[in-house]
Structure 1
Amino acid sequence: MKIRIGFGSCGIAAGAKKVKDKLEAIIDENKLNVDVSITGCIGMCFYEPIVDVIDDNGVFSYGNVTPELVQEIVEKHIIKGEPVYDYIVSTDKEPYTQLKNQVRIVLKNCGIINPEKIEQYIDKDGYKALNRVVKEMTPNEVIEEVKIAGLRGRGGAGFPTWFKWDAARKSKGEDKYVVCNADEGDPGAFMDRSVLEGDPHAVLEGMAIAGYAIGAKKGYIYVRAEYPLAIERLKIAIKQAREKNYLGKSIMGSSFDFDILIKTGAGAFVCGEETALIASLEGERGMPRLKPPFPAQSGYFGKPTNINNVETYANVPWILVHGGKAFAAYGTEKSKGTKVFALAGKIKNGGLVEVPMGMTLREVIYGIGGGIKGDKEFKAVQMGGPSGGCIPRKLLDTPVDYESINKTGAIMGSGGMVVMDENTCMVDMARFFLDFTCKESCGKCVYCRIGTKRMLEILKKICSGEGSTEDIDILQELCISVKDGSLCGLGQTTPNPILTTLRYFKDEYIAHIKDHKCPAKQCKKLLTYSIDPDVCKGCTLCARKCPAQAIEGETKKAHKIDQQKCIKCGNCMTVCKSNAVMVE
């Protein structure tokens, strides 16, 4: 019998270490012959900590496991062989809905293997692709297979992967480099982190294959320092790969030499742009450079360099094992394969999913994500992070592919989906993303440095009820200027949240400006709290909990809020047990 525990960042944060310690203590105490191991995140973050019990009857996944629950699982399932179905959320014979509707290529090993044991990766066809490549294929044949697959860069732009590889291969120079962009910086995105934590060898193998294809001998993984667990597991994986001769000199007895190093970044969002990333990799301040020349011609220290993100490289081994046609069988005509998404925000089943390109937003959000928390109305989904846009309810049946998402005004991005419900203020949401990109601008371009600041100031005015109708025209004009005048993708896409909210939710901007009201009741300065005298029981709780002492009234008599003193904190509404407090 075996037990595996979800030990991704989400599982550890939810208490997986305490669960593991308790499990091991009980197993030792009872002298049970049970192998306990760890695994990465399987994607069902909302059920963490997850404990899988693997016996002769299959795999039984227990969700939301606590140290107290461990005792019962051991006594009934481990010792007596009786699964505790009250706590089981998924089995290999009847997978949970979120898993059932997926096609897992990048995530195939996440939540299945121990990411710190290379043997388990090898047992799942690990390094089989690299073996085939170095012993049976020419670099051009590798690039052709990736071309047949139709794999596009999963970092956001969706540029054909084979084209990048081919350009780097054809560039002159003995020294060439492969770089993995693991500087995942979008708020609400955690795809790359989960892959690095759950299946690091897939990324290493994909990078080695890319190195063979372009003629590189060295690779770098640029990963943000805020991902300590991912970095730790990458270090373990690289060490193990070197010991097994999957990295280093004469890989697998061939003439191919390739090694990988890790570079930790300081978490600058602009370093997601490839030329800014290269500058940081070189030890300079992370600022974008003019293109051309492109990195494929002049990248790291002026040498030909290929840059792809974590998910892109993780697809490569599967493609080389199963063939480009098998990968291209998934997806749409122009967007092949699968895509990993991080579901976050006001969604019931937040976590990681991998679906074929072309599945609709409705199928992802409702079919896999379970719909909106509290069964509230879906309002919008932000795709592409701060560089993306808000897609409204009327476009829920939009297919998830590069072309269709671009038509909405959003972008695919690296795969973040931040779901919003009826209580989300779209003006405030635009302000939130502008605040982020304004702070993350490297300051090199005047349009980005100053333009984002001016746009943020206007959005703050509107959220405070101090905006005017002219502000909308100025916002739109600034959006165009910043888009056209910025050097890199950060500045060029910064206006997207404003443009899409103006396009689909302009009525909310008008309500803030003309009516001085926030329809979603989120913008504090536009709210008015009052107490319904017919409902108030005079319990005095609201008055006692008011930090501004703005509530007056006698015991067992209706209370009133002094609007001059009210700081609009909403505490009165939170503590009122009679639902007597109203907000407009």
Structure 2
Amino acid sequence: LPPADVVAEVTASGLRGRGGAGFPAGIKWRTVADTPGSLKFVCCNADEGDSGTFADRMLMEGDPFTLIEGMTIAAYAVGATEGYVYIRSEYPDAIRTVREAIAVARDQGWLGEDVLGSGVRFDLFVRVGAGAYICGEETAMLESLEGKRGMVRAKPPIPAITGLFGRPTVVNNVLTLASVPAILAGGAAAYQALGVERSRGTQVFQLAGNIARGGIFETAFGMTVEKLINTYGGGTRSGRPVRAVQVGGPLGAYLPADGLDLPMEYEAFAAAGAMLGHGGVVVFDDTVDMASMARFAMEFCAEESCGKCTPCRVGAVRGVEVIDRIVAGQDPDGNLALLGDLCELMTEGSLCAMGGLTSMPVRSALLHFADDFSPRSPRSPSGPEGRRPR
């Protein structure tokens, strides 16, 4: 197919970014293809840092050639000649496997100056991150690839126009790029036939936490959270009732047990004030302390913030302090109002999704598990994980 037809096929398939944002891949590719430039890049973001997610690692360790093929197709479609796989340092097996696979691909003529005798030039390189969660954000990853500290860039300009070293750049997640070979092999219509509404094709859902059968389950969009947990995951490992489920990583919303009939698709989750993210699903039973989980979200943001913008850098630290005061019974009404204002400020004022989404787990915990934020007596007995018996 001519490059433009490849882009059209990916666009028609309805493939959206599997890294969390859900942006249509075909539109991103078309932007890069239409932007003039003698040098263009394809970058795979394999900095898989969300809690409960491991699909990128499993694919890179088990079938790296699918990723290499997807990146090569993307390069052909947009006119890129160089590609980078940005892998987190905590994945040594994935790093070694992808590097070995790239060497095999070069030897076989699948990469290099003349890919399969087509006249197309494309080569791939692995770059290892230094353990910063923020580099899962595309512009922070690009900064790191350029040898700088991983900090987010203001947008616009978008990476598709001004990306790596100021050049037009495709930035996609591992699962997004790995979906491309199947789409082109079976046709856009076959992929489009799977899924629901604007969530087309399949997603790789990852079950973790207090779950009897954790692991990876690839299925078409539309399955409910309840079916995924109970039918495929076998319920909780402890045998106790499910109390909360977090979908979308450490900054995803907490869903209560009576809200698990939610279909696994982008728009349904957005309407429920949640996000699908990278497809990670973490299960908690009825012993979990949700005030502690809300505090963890703020603590995580404070630890992992790149520090570039004040709402994220300072807001998360203040958030931990405010939640501690609420649980300690210090002016709970005033501090709850202050926490609400802080969440709004972080959502509206943060430069990227790191600070912008930190309020999502906090607000969902307050909404569905308000009792856990009531003042606690230090002398009262506590249940498992520090939570008072219900």
* Bin for the TM-score computed over the shorter chain: over 0.9
1 or 2 for the larger relative contact order (CA 8 Å, sep ≥6)? 2
Distance 1:267 1:318 in 2: 31
The answer as to 2:293 corresponding to 1:442 is no
Q: What does residue 89 of structure 1 align with?
A: none
- Compared CA separation, residues 376 and 167, structure 1 to 2 (3 A): same
Which of these residues, 371, 375, 390, is aligned with residue 513 of structure 1? 375
The answer as to 2:317 corresponding to 1:453 is yes
Q: What does residue 146 of structure 2 align with?
A: 282
Q: What does residue 118 of structure 2 align with?
A: 254
SS of match in other structure, 2:200 = coil
Distance 2:261 2:253 in 1: 16
Deviation, 1:337, is 0.7
Distance 2:300 2:7 in 1: 38
Contact kept? 2:301, 2:312, Cα under 8 Å: no
Q: What does residue 22 of structure 2 align with?
A: 158
- Mapping of residues 386-535 of structure 1, within 5 Å: 386-464=250-328, 466=330, 468-509=332-373, 512-513=374-375, 521-522=383-384, 524=386
Contact kept? 2:244, 2:285, Cα under 8 Å: yes
Q: What does residue 167 of structure 1 align with?
A: 31
Offset from partner CA, 1:155-188 (integer Å, 9 cap, x none): 0010000000000001111100000000011122
Structure 2 residues without counterparts, runs of 5 or longer: none
Contact kept? 1:271, 1:287, Cα under 8 Å: yes
Deviation, 1:387, is 2.0
Distance 1:461 1:208 in 2: 53
Q: How many residues align?
A: 390
- Mapping of residues 532-571 of structure 1, within 5 Å: none
- Compared CA separation, residues 145 and 382, structure 1 to 2 (3 A): same
Contact kept? 1:458, 1:467, Cα under 8 Å: no
Which of these residues, 177, 192, 198, is aligned with residue 56 of structure 2? 192
SS of match in other structure, 2:216 = strand
Q: What does residue 84 of structure 2 align with?
A: 220
Distance 1:299 1:231 in 2: 24
SS of match in other structure, 1:233 = helix
- Mapping of residues 68-83 of structure 1, within 5 Å: none
Contact kept? 1:424, 1:520, Cα under 8 Å: no
Offset from partner CA, 1:350-373 (integer Å, 9 cap, x none): 111111100000110011001112
Which of these residues, 202, 210, 226, is aligned with residue 362 of structure 1? 226
SS of match in other structure, 2:139 = helix
Distance 1:352 1:189 in 2: 9
- Compared CA separation, residues 515 and 246, structure 1 to 2 (3 A): same
> TM-score scaled to structure 1, two decimals?
0.65
Which of these residues, 353, 365, 372, is aligned with residue 236 of structure 2? 372
Amino acid corresponding to residue 343 of structure 2 in structure 1: C
Deviation, 1:471, is 1.4
Contact kept? 1:185, 1:269, Cα under 8 Å: yes
Offset from partner CA, 1:319-348 (integer Å, 9 cap, x none): 010111111111002100111122111110
The answer as to 2:75 corresponding to 1:211 is yes
Q: What does residue 270 of structure 1 align with?
A: 134
SS of match in other structure, 1:221 = strand
Amino acid corresponding to residue 184 of structure 1 in structure 2: E
Structure of greater Rg: 1
Amino acid corresponding to residue 251 of structure 1 in structure 2: V
Deviation, 1:517, is 9.3
Distance 1:410 1:518 in 2: 34
SS of match in other structure, 2:86 = strand
Contact kept? 2:287, 2:385, Cα under 8 Å: no
Amino acid corresponding to residue 207 of structure 1 in structure 2: M
- Structure 1 outlier segments of 4+, above 6 Å: 514-520
Q: What does residue 181 of structure 1 align with?
A: 45
- Compared CA separation, residues 353 and 517, structure 1 to 2 (3 A): farther
Contact kept? 1:425, 1:520, Cα under 8 Å: no
- Compared CA separation, residues 298 and 422, structure 1 to 2 (3 A): same
Distance 1:367 1:489 in 2: 32
Contact kept? 1:508, 1:518, Cα under 8 Å: no
Offset from partner CA, 1:197-256 (integer Å, 9 cap, x none): 111110010000000011000000000011000001001100111111111111111110
Deviation, 1:466, is 4.9
Offset from partner CA, 1:466-494 (integer Å, 9 cap, x none): 56222111111100001111101111111
Contact kept? 2:288, 2:384, Cα under 8 Å: yes
Distance 1:518 1:197 in 2: 48
Contact kept? 1:207, 1:313, Cα under 8 Å: yes
Deviation, 1:259, is 0.5
Contact kept? 2:222, 2:265, Cα under 8 Å: yes
